[in-house]
Amino acid sequence: MSLDPVAELFRAALSRLREGDAAGAAVACREALDVAPRNPDLLALLGACLVALREPAEALGHLDGALELAPSHARAWEERGRALLQLRRIDEAVLSLQRAMALEPGSALTRRLLAQALLAQGKGAEADALLQQDFSEEPHRQVLLEAAAHQRARRFRESEALLRSALEASPRDVDALRMLARVAEEAERPGEAERLLRRVISLAPDFDDARLDLARVLKQRDKVEQAVECTGEVVSRSPRNPLAQYLHASMLALTRRYDEAIAAYRESIRLRPDNPAAWVGLAHLLKTLGRQQEGVDAYREALRLRPDFGEVYWSLANLKTFRFTAEEIAMMERCIADTAIDEDALVHFCFALAKSREDAGAHAEAFSLYERANVTQRMRVAYDPVDSETQHERIRVVFTAELLRERAAPVREDEPVPIFIVGLPRSGSTLLEQILASHPLVEGTAELPDIGRAITEITRRHPEQRYPHALARISDAELAGLGRDYLDRTRRHRSGKPFFTDKMPNNFASVGLIRLILPQARIIDARRHPLDSCLGCFRQHFAQGQSFTYDLEELADFYLEYRRMMTHWEAALPGAVLELRYEDMVRSQEAETRRLLAFCGLPWDERCLRFHETERAVRTASSEQVRMPLYDSALGRWRNYRAQLSPLIEILEPELRREGWEL
């Protein structure tokens, strides 16, 4: 034991901080300060611990105390600058870091912090000069800077080459490994990204940013529980990290731990109340849970912080029952008139403003705005209608009535029964789901991606043929295994009820596969007047997955493909799919509800008629509409846009006449 107990306590605290245990190090510092309350090294170290714990305000008190005792304490000035950066007091941070640099000119870490502060201050040239000095002393950092510049410009191939060369020279460089993981993500190689980030964490267990990156990759890979563990670990180590709390909240919401998610969002906001993204995340969740006014209040707070936040305006419009104020409409008009507006913001503003025009009865003006939004968005998404048609035709060729009869498996009575609701988006699927979820035997879930994942797995196992042709190589046992995998993956959405819904509309092309891997499943085709369905798609800015909706002719062609596919299933699997029309449900609610429940094998329950009273999370665009009794005001909305929809009507007219739809 050292003769100097204070020095021994200091070394113990410093060791804990270097090992990533900032909380334990802070405790050790406080114990030492009880013995030596005016020790500047201990005060500076405690300040560093508190900065690591994201408690900058408290850290400043101890750091100022250290500097009062030792004005030339370079580490205390550096940590003071770091604390001020966390508090976003940029000008003061620059002054503190400049003082630290003057006292210890050779500190590379201080140089980098000062460069960061100068950039935040808008002094890019001075920041670059500091970084160049840093790079001249550590040449490999120049390589990383160039790789980062390529990534910002989305030149990921060039970035990858530089990063791999850097890792050849320094294979344990965690910054290079983390950046390479980003390249893998962009190249849609999430497995490689996960492997790289796990390597980073094994080398640097307290690298919180890398652990948060890993959580995002795990979410992408549908390993949501593992993602929650990642964010939870960062939160437990750094509870005052607002980004960690924000990401933890988003992961908790995906696992339906809604109360915990709301608490984490609110803690993130408490730590950094000026972050509009956290307010938006909270608002989305409150809206999903039916707490509309709280959600609107949160959206408005995001707008107060960032008045030109286009996504928030669309989120409000997407409530469907919300109405903008005159001031908000004027703000949107100013934004779309700005020639320098970002395309993503323009799309959001145009969709939102179109909805406000429609609410006012100005349909021609509304359609013009919808068209501008769709034209802009169509240029930003990848969609090949020929590829869609080719893939659908392959499915029709493979999934013949003979194959489906020969490969049919017996129904497994002891397994949960998924109820698939398929069709074109905006055709009443959320209404059907809400009716079913009002039954005590049915769990309402969401648009689940797991049938798509089963198809991906088939192709992964049989890359020489791919889906659907790979079906010829798949054994009955393998098909049954895919069904069990589906039930296992969807378990996190369920509480144990015998029936559950899956309302991914695009599953209409997978009816045959569903019957083979889940013979107990029920399948509902949600239909609506084709022009109302297509108009509903054109009026909706989808988050992802519906790239065919941004052009009227492509939308019409996709609708015809959907009908060809459902006609095929009707012939190949007679009676396997129940067609329910939105118009019939609105006009004959009880009769259609009885038909729906009987098809699913469910006993009658009056609560299904009072579906709007059912409290549950609803994630789709119709979340607020299904919390109201049935209404008929949405029927025939397409008539308001008859002239503008002429390209759509021209393509669909033969189908409309053949099926007896109003024209």
State percent of the chain over pLDDT 70.
96
Amino acid occupying residue 494: R
- Exposure pattern of 339-356 as b/e (b: 16+ CB <10 Å)? eebeeebbbbbbbbbbbb
Given pLDDT bands bounded at 50, 70 and 90, which one contains residue 527? Answer: very high
Q: Are 247 and 278 in contact (CB under 8 A)?
A: no
> Do 368 and 428 belong to one domain?
no
- Token output for 104: 């210890």
The answer, yes or no, to whether the previous bond of 468 is cis (omega within 30 of 0) is yes
Could you tell me if 521 and 499 are in contact, meaning their C-beta atoms sit under 8 angstroms apart? Answer: no
- C-alpha 299/C-alpha 276 separation (Å) is 9
Whether residue 395 sits in one domain with residue 371: no
Burial of 79 (0-12, 13-18, 19+ CB in 10 A): buried
pLDDT for the residue numbered 1? 40
Given 3-state DSSP classes, what are the helix, strand and coil percentages for the chain, each rounded to the nearest 5?
A: 70, 5, 25
Shared domain check, 444 and 315:
no
- Tens of pLDDT, residue by residue over 180-217, are 999 999 988 999 999 999 999 988 887 888 999 999 99
| pLDDT of 623 above 90 | no
Decide if 79 is inside a domain.
yes
Query: Cβ distance 502 to 417 under 8 Å?
Result: no
The identity of residue 379, as a single letter, is M
Residue 135: the pLDDT is 58
Residue 185 domain-assigned (yes or no): no
Whether residues 389 and 367 fall in one domain: no
Instruction: Report the distance separating Cα 16 and Cα 23, nearest Å.
Output: 9
pLDDT value at position 616?
Answer: 62
> Tokens representing 365?
């003006």
**For residue 2, pLDDT beyond 60:** no
- Domain assignment present for 112: yes
Using CA atoms in the order 323, 325, 330, 336, what is the torsion angle rounded to 10 degrees?
Answer: -30
Asked if residue 533 and residue 405 are part of one domain, the reply reads yes
DSSP 8-state class, residue 444: E
Tell whether the model's pLDDT for residue 655 goes beyond 90: yes
> Both 390 and 426 in a single domain?
yes
The number of C-alpha atoms within 13 Å of 216 and in the hemisphere containing its C-beta is: 16
State the average pLDDT over residues 45-54: 90
Helix (H) or strand (E) holding 577, with range, is strand 577-581
Mean pLDDT value of segment 324-335: 93
Reported confidence tier of residue 580, pLDDT bands at 50, 70, 90: very high
What is the token pair recorded at 558?
């996709």
Q: Distance (Å, rounded) from C-alpha 137 to C-alpha 135?
A: 5
* Mean pLDDT computed over 151-171: 89
What letter would DSSP give residue 224? H
pTM metric for this prediction? 0.76
- According to the model, what pLDDT value does residue 245 have? 94
* Residue 632 located in a structural domain: yes
Query: 397 and 287 share a domain?
Result: no
Instruction: Say how far apart CA 607 and CA 25 lie, in whole Å.
Output: 57
For the beta carbon of residue 22, count every other beta carbon within 10 angstroms.
22
CATH number at residue 486: 3.40.50.300
In terms of phi and psi (left: phi > 0; alpha: psi -120 to 50; beta: otherwise), the region of 428 is left
- Average per-residue pLDDT for the chain: 90
* Interval 372-387 mean pLDDT: 93
For 450-480, write each residue's pLDDT tens digit: 999 999 999 989 988 889 999 988 999 999 9
Instruction: Tell me the pLDDT tens digit for each residue of 234-275.
Output: 998 888 788 899 999 999 999 889 999 999 999 999 988 888
Whether residue 522 is predicted with pLDDT greater than 80 in this model: the reply is yes
CB atoms within 10 A of CB 438: 22
Q: Compute CA distances 289 → 270, 283, 293, 294, 629, whole Å.
A: 22, 10, 11, 10, 18
Query: In one letter, which amino acid is 46?
Result: L
- In this structure, is residue 459 part of a structural domain? yes
